[in-house]
A and B are shown apart, each in its own frame.
Chain A
Amino acid sequence: MVGSPVLFIAIPLLAAFIIPLLGMIWKESVRILPGLVLVYLLTLSINLLGYVLDNGPIIEIIAGWTPPWGINLVFSAFSGFLVTLMLFLGLLVWIYSYRFKRNVDFEPAKKYFILLMMLITGSVGIVLTGDIFNQFVFIEIVGISAYALTAFYTGRDSAEASFKYLIMGSLSAGFLLLAIVILYSQLGTLNMADIARNIHTVKPVYKITALIFFIVGLGIEAEMFPLNGWAPDVYSQAPGPVGAAFAGIVVKSGVYAIIRIVYTIFDIEGAFDFLVIIGLITLLFAETAAIKQIRMKRMLAYSSIGQMGLVLVAFGIGTEAGVFAALFLMFNHAIIKSLLFYAGSYLVFNSKEKYINDVSGLGKSMPITSFLFALGAFAIVGLPPFAGFWSKLYFLIAAADSGMIMIIALILIVSIVEIVYYFRVVNKIYFSKKEAHVVPQRPTFNALFSMIVLGLIVIIIGFFPDLITGILHDASRDLMDKTDYINNVLSITH
Chain B
Amino acid sequence: MMNDKNSQKIVDIIQNYARLHSLFVLAYGTGCGAIEIPPTMTSRYDAERFGIRGAATPRQADVLLITGYLTTKTLKRVIRVYEQMQDPKYVIGFGSCTINGGMYWDSYNTIKVLDKYLPVDVYINGCMPRPEAVIAGFVKLQSLIREGKAEGAKLYKDNLEQYRENQKKVIPNWVMPEYNW
Do A and B touch directly, given a CB cutoff of 8 Å in the complex? Answer: no
